[in-house]
A and B are shown apart, each in its own frame.
Chain A
Amino acid sequence: MPDATLSTPHRFGAIGRLIRGLHLPLNDPFAIAGIAIYTVFILVAIFADQLAPYDPTEILYTADYDLAADRRPGEDGFILGTTSLGRDIFSQLVYGSRAALLIGITAAFMVALIGTIVGLLAGYFGGWVDLVLMRLADIAFGIPFLPFVIVIAAFLDPSIWNVVLAMALVLWRDTGRVIRSQVLTLRTRAYVQAARVCGSSDLKIVFRHIAPNILPLSFLYGSIAIGWAILTEASISFLGFGDPETISWGYMLQDAFASAALSQGAYYWFVPPGLCIILVVVAGFFISRGYEEILFPRLKE
């Protein structure tokens, strides 16, 4: 038995180290609320098929073969009513969480990944690598974000992946700059210098000594990017450049707007998707706030 207890930390060492390396902000009540909100939405997204009573794109009819359009919440058993095309709003809302999380998390992952790599390379190697990468960042900072995503989404095939790609192409800049300056300070630390003197390879120094210290920062910027990505996708879908195959909250809002839901006072149609977006984005803010308090404890006092 003693053998088993001894080997446990070894066997889960890599994963355990990764999780500890992320320094999840578990003592900040806001951060916990954020993590809880995410957990709920992730569960809804996973079990969308079980939770949604209908297919979100299915056009529904009543028992008398009447189109079940513009039903109020509760009417004919529709929890949040139906759209003017006779689709179930609640089901759309449930499936919308899938699109939102898929876009948010992949975009955030790409932003954090590109930003971290650029920051590491620029900060560690300096010289012309730094020069080129930072000029690229300058350019990325000069690109108006939303118009860029609109043009890319409109010209390429309308798919959520093009939206994600367009966002990643621009948003890596903030992460890249911050990580770079962090690497610059880390590079001068004694243990990194020591590793250098001992003849460790650049690759080893970057991945063993620098990257682990950068991880929480990447995560902070990733958690901010989730919110940005979801908001951007909503805007793009709202403007009509979204993926017509994917039911997202932005798509629902566009549908409601175009179907005169505002003038009909169909609050049940356009308020819930907005609230869902707010919840997910705010959750990201709360988590990143928790991270900031870990990374920059001065704020806490």
Chain B
Amino acid sequence: MALVQQIGGRLLQLVFVLWAVATILFLMFRLMPGNPLAAYIDVTFTEEQQLALMAKFGLDRPLWEQYFIYLWNLLHGELGDSFFYRQPVFDRLMVLLPNTLILAFGSLIIAYAFGIIAGSYLAWKRGSVGEQVAIPLVLTTRAMPEFWLGMVLLAVFSFWLGWFPAGGMRSPGAEFDSVGALYTSRDFLAHLVLPIATLAIYSQGLPLLLMRSNMLDVMREDFVTMARIKGLSSFTVVVRHAARNALLPVMTSFAIGVGYQIQGNVVVETVFSWPGIGRELVNAVAASDYPLAQGAFLLIAVVFVLMNFIADMLYGLLDPRVSHA
């Protein structure tokens, strides 16, 4: 019962935060200096044409009315039309979302697999010379600007060695029968390597450090000592007991990591000209394509908030002390 209440409370908070973010977004885009239609309106438009346009976008109504129309539309997934592409923002974003998710999940899975193993290893090797070198090194990867790391990888592996393409998602002229064929093609995978590597190198630090410190804590727990007194194999002691317990917070951080990745991908997508939500946001903001920018922002926010929510729920699911309270 308590669990249901907890989930209910968290859901309510989720809805509240989403509403608040949508409202902030509305205010940000409406109260900004300048005419929101400036980019849309051609200099050749007459006064009447401009007014008609204002009416079409509902900009001639009072602000509070616009706000409710905005909320109502959001509830229906109606994000308006892009000024630049002259097509519904929602459709455009849905085409780009998979590209962003591929980057986020692909890089995080690699980063977490590596981080969990390396973190456990460093915990085991506590106090060794290797550990003394590795920790500052990992901190350094956390301190890199992601886009700079992308630039260095591009300069070395693309421009100098010529191993991988320099950007985009497919070679010019490459056509595919279906989306599925594209995502499984050699060409696509070659384009994927550098951006994924960039994000993975940047992201492995968090699970690594987290896993290491958790392992160090758990290894001191009585139940690990007891497992050894029981004469269980080292594998059982380290993996089944120590690592399984240390893994709990790391798994929840994965969901949070996806959220952060989606919002932070903006720069890496730009460096690699990767057609994802982040780059779309940057381009839309630069081109004053307000509906598109607003929609991209909102989509990123939704994924971000949802992932934080999932992280909370995941913790409850994975920890019997919470799920079997």
A touches B in complex, CB < 8 A: yes
Interface residues of A (CB under 8 A from B): 30, 135, 138-139, 141-148, 150-152, 154-156, 227, 231, 234-235, 238-241, 250, 253, 256-257, 261-263, 265, 267, 270-271, 273-274, 277-278, 281-282, 285-286, 289, 299, 301
Choose one: A142, A263, A278; the contact of B20 (CB below 8 Å).
A142
Question: Would A139 and B20 count as touching, CB distance under 8 A?
Answer: yes
CA–CA, A281 to B202, complex, Å? 14
In the complex, which residue of chain B has the Cβ closest to the Cβ of A155? B32
Cβ-based interface call for B28 (8 A): yes
Interface residues of B (CB under 8 A from A): 13, 16-18, 20-21, 24, 28, 32-33, 136, 139-140, 142-149, 151-152, 154-155, 158-160, 166, 213, 216, 262-264, 266-267, 270-271, 278, 281-282, 285-286, 293, 296-297, 300-301, 304-305, 308
CA–CA, A286 to B140, complex, Å? 10
CA–CA, A12 to B99, complex, Å? 60
CA–CA, A265 to B154, complex, Å? 10
Question: Would A239 and B270 count as touching, CB distance under 8 A?
Answer: yes
In the complex, chain A residues whose CB is within 8 Å of the CB of B28: 151-152, 155
In the complex, which residue of chain B has the Cβ closest to the Cβ of A157? B33
In the complex, chain B residues whose CB is within 8 Å of the CB of A267: 155
In the complex, chain B residues whose CB is within 8 Å of the CB of A285: 139, 142-143
Choose one: B21, B149, B264; the contact of A142 (CB below 8 Å).
B21
Question: Would A142 and B305 count as touching, CB distance under 8 A?
Answer: yes
A41 to chain B, nearest CB (A): 14
Question: Would B282 and A150 count as touching, CB distance under 8 A?
Answer: yes
In the complex, which residue of chain B has the Cβ closest to the Cβ of A264? B159
Q: Is the interface of A mostly helix, strand, loop or mixed?
A: helix
With A141-B308, A261-B155, A274-B149 given, can you name 18 additional A-B contacts, CB distance below 8 Å?
A30-B136, A139-B24, A142-B21, A147-B281, A147-B296, A150-B281, A156-B32, A231-B143, A238-B267, A263-B159, A270-B155, A274-B144, A274-B151, A274-B152, A281-B143, A282-B140, A286-B139, A289-B139
Q: Is the interface of B mostly helix, strand, loop or mixed?
A: helix
Interface centre among B18, B151, B263, B264 (most CB of A within 10 A): B151
Choose one: B139, B151, B278; the contact of A253 (CB below 8 Å).
B151
Interface centre among B147, B264, B301 (most CB of A within 10 A): B147
Question: Would B147 and A265 count as touching, CB distance under 8 A?
Answer: no
In the complex, which residue of chain A has the Cβ closest to the Cβ of B18? A142
B256 to chain A, nearest CB (A): 10
Question: Would A270 and B151 count as touching, CB distance under 8 A?
Answer: yes
CA–CA, A270 to B139, complex, Å? 21
A-B CB pair tally, cutoff 8 Å: 134
Question: Would A147 and B300 count as touching, CB distance under 8 A?
Answer: yes
A36 to chain B, nearest CB (A): 14
CA–CA, A267 to B286, complex, Å? 28
Question: Would A278 and B143 count as touching, CB distance under 8 A?
Answer: yes
Q: What are 17 contact pairs spanning A and B, CB under 8 A?
A: A30-B136, A138-B13, A142-B21, A144-B304, A146-B263, A150-B282, A155-B32, A235-B267, A239-B266, A239-B282, A240-B286, A262-B151, A270-B148, A277-B145, A278-B143, A282-B136, A301-B216
Question: Would B155 and A238 count as touching, CB distance under 8 A?
Answer: no
Question: Would A146 and B24 count as touching, CB distance under 8 A?
Answer: no
A157 to chain B, nearest CB (A): 9
B292 to chain A, nearest CB (A): 12
CA–CA, A289 to B300, complex, Å? 31
CA–CA, A282 to B20, complex, Å? 35
Q: State whether A265 and B159 are in contact (beta carbons under 8 Å apart), knowing that A144-B262, A147-B281, A257-B271 are contacts in the complex.
A: yes
Question: Would A274 and B301 count as touching, CB distance under 8 A?
Answer: no
Question: Would B293 and A234 count as touching, CB distance under 8 A?
Answer: no
CA–CA, A231 to B139, complex, Å? 14
CA–CA, A301 to B123, complex, Å? 13
Question: Would B293 and A151 count as touching, CB distance under 8 A?
Answer: yes
B128 to chain A, nearest CB (A): 15
Choose one: A146, A261, A278, A282; the contact of B264 (CB below 8 Å).
A146
Choose one: B33, B143, B216, B297; the contact of A147 (CB below 8 Å).
B297
In the complex, chain A residues whose CB is within 8 Å of the CB of B213: 299
In the complex, which residue of chain A has the Cβ closest to the Cβ of B20? A139
In the complex, chain A residues whose CB is within 8 Å of the CB of B13: 138
In the complex, chain A residues whose CB is within 8 Å of the CB of B296: 147
Interface centre among A138, A144, A148 (most CB of B within 10 A): A144
Interface centre among B146, B155, B216, B296 (most CB of A within 10 A): B155
Interface centre among A143, A154, A271 (most CB of B within 10 A): A143
In the complex, which residue of chain A has the Cβ closest to the Cβ of B142? A285
CA–CA, A299 to B210, complex, Å? 12
Question: Would A238 and B154 count as touching, CB distance under 8 A?
Answer: no
